[in-house]
């Protein structure tokens, strides 16, 4: 503030205010007044140090000159009176001049202070408006979050109601299935009862004499019966034939029922597994969709919060720049105050020295009193400026308090953003883990399928080779050639047996048993002594029992 004021005064007056005030405060207006030239009275800016007291203004050279001109007679009293009158006139002129300068400086200072105050108020209003806007945006965001929570609660309640309805539907379905099963059981019992009654009726009709009007037998049953003279025996034979036919029909019906029930059980098991897999797939798809939706919502919320944080950071940077500017202004004012205080101390010391050195002169005392009164006025002005500085410092402290509140709110927002980023990172990691697990399982299944195909190809090749060797062994060869071929084939089989996998070794065991003409007991001993190896046995333990 004071620097801008000094530069403005320098532009208006064309002189450096620091030099002007230093010469003024150091008692330049009490300096030496030359009596040789009256034109010096019109120059208010004539300077001189305190080392030249008023009593010493008449130097020995001046006394010699005056003695020569006046014939050695110098009226000290008249000269002193004339000197006092000139000094008073000079002081009045200088006081008038500096009063005008002080008024101008006060006006300039008031103008600059008004501009600084207006700028500070504008900055404060802008900061307050930004803070209010940020608070409104935060309130809107909180309101939106509360609305989303309300909607989520309503959706959860609707989901609970849907679950209850589904449970009621499932319960009704189970009750209907139970009633249907009961009715089917009753129907089956009725049909079984009807069949039993029909069988009993057929048995009674067959037991009747042939000449009875209700007698009835199938042709097949009649062929089974040979008539005799004994009626009781014939009746028993007829009943036996009917019962035998009914037993066969019952067995056939039971076989049909078993066949149909086994097919239905297999189809039901297949349908149940398929439905379980479909339900699991639907649940996984639903969870994946919900996870994607929640992730997208959280990303949108993070983006909105990031924009708000960026806006708050810009506001914080602007306020920080304004605070730094105010701090620099305060520091500059403090430096000016220290300089003024230092100059005041220096002037005070010089005044004390002048008082001690020139105590014998009343004119010097009067001028010193004027200087003291002026210094007191200056001190009062300095105290007023100090009061203004204290007001600015208190305002600066208020600004710092607002800045701390804004900083705390920013830290809270940063923590929320960090929590959301952490949640997004966890969801991303879980998704990546699931994807990698699925890929690993798919790769493992592909590798196992390839290995199974390779082993099947090897087994088929070995079977073909064994068949060729067995066919070739049946050809008309000499015993020496047969032994040589058997030896080479046995060598090949043993090498493959020792270096092959577990399943290949089991196939080669069969080949060894054929070549060496081993019995089934010896082949079983060889299989039991065969050590387990890595390969398909690690994946399919059931192969070790084959």
Q: What pLDDT is stored for residue 9 in this prediction?
A: 52
Give the pLDDT of residue 52.
Answer: 42
CA–CA distance, 20 with 32 (Å, rounded to integer): 17
pLDDT number for residue 135: 76
Which tokens is 380 given? 């009062």
Query: What does the block give as tokens for 142?
Result: 């909180």
- The domain ranges of the chain are 438-545
For residues 533 and 504, is the Cβ–Cβ distance under 8 A?
no
Distances from the Cα of 269 to the Cα of 46, 176, 264, 272, 283, angstroms: 121, 21, 8, 5, 21
Under 8 Å between Cβ of 334 and 389: yes
Helices 479-499 and 362-473: crossing angle, nearest 10°?
Answer: 160
Torsion on CA atoms 83, 84, 89, 94, rounded to nearest 10: 90
List the chain residues with pLDDT less than 50. 1-2, 17, 19-58, 477, 534-541, 543-546
Structure tokens, 280: 């699991």
**Is 375 within 8 Å of 30 (Cβ atoms)?**
no
Take residue 347 and report the two structure tokens written for it: 């002037």
Nearest-angstrom CA–CA distance, 217 and 271: 47
Q: Residues 511, 466: contact at Cβ < 8 Å?
A: yes
Structure tokens at 125: 């209003």
For residue 248, the tally of other CB atoms under 10 A from its CB is: 11
Q: Are 83 and 35 in contact (CB under 8 A)?
A: yes
Helix (H, G, I), strand (E, B) or coil at 211: coil
User: In angstroms, rounded to a whole number, what is the distance separating the alpha carbons of residues 382 and 337?
Assistant: 8
Give the helix ranges, DSSP H, for 474-501: 479-499
Look up residue 441 and give its two tokens: 């399982």
pLDDT tens for each residue of 421-453: 887 888 788 778 878 888 888 888 888 778 778
pLDDT in tens, 59-92: 555 556 555 555 555 556 666 677 678 777 887 8
- State the virtual CA torsion across 136, 140, 145, 150 in degrees, nearest 10: 130
CB burial string 348-384: b at 16+ within 10 A, e below: eebbeebeeebeebebbeebbeebeebbeebeeeeee
For 313, the token pair is 């950071």
Q: What is the DSSP letter of 48?
A: -
Any idea which residue has 């297999």 for tokens? 266
Tokens coding 238:
């007829």
Please identify which residue in the block is written with the tokens 């060889």: 526
Q: How far apart are CA 322 and CA 198, in angstroms?
A: 111
Is 66:78 a contact under the CB 8 Å cutoff?
no
Name the token pair of 394: 């208190």
């Amino acid at each position: 503030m004071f620097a801008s004021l000094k530069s403005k005064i320098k532009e208006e007056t064309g002189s450096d205010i620091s030099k002007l005030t230093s010469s003024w405060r150091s008692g330049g207006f009490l300096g030496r007044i030359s009596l040789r030239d009256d034109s010096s009275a019109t120059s208010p800016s004539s300077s001189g140090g305190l080392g030249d007291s008023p009593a010493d203004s008449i130097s020995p050279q001046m006394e010699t000159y005056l003695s020569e001109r006046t014939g050695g007679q110098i009226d000290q009293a008249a000269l002193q009176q004339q000197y006092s009158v000139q000094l008073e006139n000079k002081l009045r002129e200088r006081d008038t001049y500096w009063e005008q300068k002080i008024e101008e400086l006060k006006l300039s200072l008031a103008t600059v202070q008004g501009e600084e105050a207006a700028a500070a108020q504008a900055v404060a209003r802008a900061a307050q408006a930004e803070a209010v806007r940020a608070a409104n945006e935060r309130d809107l965001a909180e309101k939106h979050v509360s609305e989303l929570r309300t909607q989520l609660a309503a959706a959860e309640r609707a989901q609970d109601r849907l679950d209850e309805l589904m449970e009621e539907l499932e319960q009704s379905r189970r009750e209907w299935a139970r009633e249907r099963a009961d009715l089917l059981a009753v129907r089956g019992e009725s049909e079984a009862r009807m069949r039993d009654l029909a069988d009993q009726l057929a048995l009674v009709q067959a037991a009747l004499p042939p000449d009875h009007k209700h007698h009835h037998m199938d042709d097949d049953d009649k062929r089974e019966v040979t008539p005799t003279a004994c009626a009781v025996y014939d009746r028993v034979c007829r009943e036996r034939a009917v019962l035998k036919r009914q037993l066969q029909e019952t067995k056939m019906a039971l076989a049909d029922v078993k066949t149909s029930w086994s097919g239905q059980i297999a189809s039901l098991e297949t349908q149940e597994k398929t439905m379980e897999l479909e339900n699991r797939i639907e649940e996984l798809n639903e969870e994946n969709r919900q996870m994607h939706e929640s992730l997208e919502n959280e990303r949108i919320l993070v983006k909105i919060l990031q924009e708000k944080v960026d806006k708050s950071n810009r506001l914080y940077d602007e306020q920080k720049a304004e605070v730094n500017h105010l701090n620099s202004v305060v520091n500059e004012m403090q430096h000016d105050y220290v300089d003024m205080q230092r100059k005041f101390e220096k002037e005070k010391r010089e005044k004390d020295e002048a008082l001690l050195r020139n105590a014998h002169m009343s004119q010097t005392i009067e001028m010193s009193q004027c200087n003291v009164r002026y210094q007191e006025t200056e001190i009062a002005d300095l105290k007023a400026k100090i009061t203004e500085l204290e007001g600015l410092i208190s305002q600066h402290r208020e600004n710092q308090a607002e800045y701390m509140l804004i900083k705390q709110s920013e830290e809270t927002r940063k923590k929320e953003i960090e929590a959301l980023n952490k949640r997004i990172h966890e969801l991303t990691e879980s998704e990546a883990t699931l994807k990698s697990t699925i890929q690993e399982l798919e790769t493992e299944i592909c590798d196992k399928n390839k290995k199974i195909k390779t082993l099947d190809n090897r087994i088929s090749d070995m079977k073909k080779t064994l068949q060729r060797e067995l066919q070739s062994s049946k050809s008309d060869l000499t015993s020496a050639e047969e032994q040589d071929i058997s030896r080479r084939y046995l060598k090949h089989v043993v090498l493959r047996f020792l270096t092959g996998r577990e399943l290949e070794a089991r196939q080669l065991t069969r080949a060894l048993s054929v070549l060496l003409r081993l019995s089934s007991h010896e082949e079983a001993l060889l299989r039991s002594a065969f050590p387990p190896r890595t390969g398909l046995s690690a994946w399919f333990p059931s192969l070790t029992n084959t």
